[in-house]
Amino acid sequence: MANIKSVAQKAGVNVSTVSRYVAGKLNVKKETREKIDAAIAELGYRPHATAKALKTSVTNCIGIVIPTIRNPLFADIVAGLTQRLEANKFTTMLYSTENHLSKEKEGIGTLLAGRVDGLVVVGSSGKTGSRDWLEEVKDIIPLVVVNRCWQNGDFNRVITDFTAGSRLAADYLVGKGYRRFAVITGYKDNEESQLKLYGFEQELWQRGIMLGQDMVAEGFFSYDKAYHAARKLLGYRPEAVFAASDLMAAAVLKATKDCGLVVPEDMAVIGYGDSQISQITTPALTTVAQHAVESGAAAANLLIEVMKEPGPAREVIMRTELVVRQST
């Protein structure tokens, strides 16, 4: 299927030139216009509705897209975003995709049709199509992505050092004397999940400990699915479980209780995120803090900068730290 990149290559112009021309934001020379029109006709390219819906006036409204409203970590990021944006006289519109690429496209189209001035897309996606889609969007409107851990792609982004955080978790558990581990990841094709698993495995490997494939299960960043994954893993009698989110770690705590195990006496549990849920579980969760509210605020600051002074893509890396509580 033809996309804006193939049209640009065919016409011999930049992607941004095509996207802005299609959106009606750029007057080009007759020769360039004819090349773009010819490439569009030859390739059968159909511009996205989002480009056609591009705003023509300033609204001081920012669109925010998140994977789900059910994860408290995303609520923290949105809180940081909205607080900083509202302090700078912006209003916000929020759209939840429920982790579907089609809904992400639909949501961005809806937000652009609503005449937003900028866009923040929150949360990790394992879909290559998501990156390709956002490559086009960023040439239409100021865009910042939060925790999209792609290895390529020229995006303004705020990203958490997920690998470093999971290494902290592994280092701490090994230091406590644990040697048999299980891990509950998010989605297997999700970059964030892959980075967290990679960091944990690498730290164990450097300590001479191997993590067996049967000791890793997908929890899909879901409480219910993580619970079932934990029940399966507990059959292998791990000494400690590392979950890629606090929500999934809370499900591990429930599974251990239902199996008659006591945390941390029988098994240790570590989460990731340091969301509010980590403080209200019993026992309270040891977790890797990724400073979600601060990440949201950083994304708001970056978007405001990009809107004022467009230029080369900028990146903000958020640090992680271990917060020790009663689950280890």
Helix spans in 151-288 (H): 162-175, 191-206, 223-234, 246-258, 277-280
pLDDT of amino acid 55: 45
Beta strands 118-122 and 61-66, pairing class: parallel
Strand, coil or helix: what is 296?
A: helix
pLDDT tens string 95-137 = 998 888 888 888 888 887 777 899 999 986 555 557 777 887 8
Q: Which residue ranges make up each domain of the chain?
A: 4-47, 56-160+292-318, 162-289
Classify residue 200 by burial, with Cβ atoms within 10 Å: 0-12, 13-18, 19+.
buried
Give the largest Cα separation in the chain, rounded.
Answer: 75
Superfamily for 4-47?
lambda repressor-like DNA-binding domains (1.10.260.40)
Q: pTM of the predicted model, to two decimals?
A: 0.81
pLDDT of amino acid 48: 60
Helix spans in 89-212 (H): 101-113, 128-137, 162-175, 191-206
pLDDT tens string 22-44 = 766 556 677 888 888 888 888 88
| 50 pLDDT more than 70 | no
Beta strands 315-318 and 157-160, pairing class: parallel
pLDDT of amino acid 124: 64
What's CA 29's distance to the chain center, in Å?
Answer: 40
The lowest-confidence range among 46-55, 157-166, 169-178, 254-263 is: 46-55
What dihedral do alpha carbons 287, 130, 113, 308 form, nearest 10°? 70
Superfamily for 56-160+292-318?
Response regulator (3.40.50.2300)
- DSSP code string of 47-114: --HHHHT--SS---EEEEEES-SS-HHHHHHHHHHHHHHHHTT-EEEEEE-TT-HHHHHHHHHHHHHT
Domain 162-289 top-level CATH class? alpha beta
Identify whether the C-beta of residue 177 lies closer than 8 Å to the C-beta of residue 210: no
Cα 13 from Cα 36, distance rounded (Å): 8
Cα 93 from Cα 107, distance rounded (Å): 10
Within this chain, domains 56-160+292-318 and 162-289 share the same CATH topology: yes
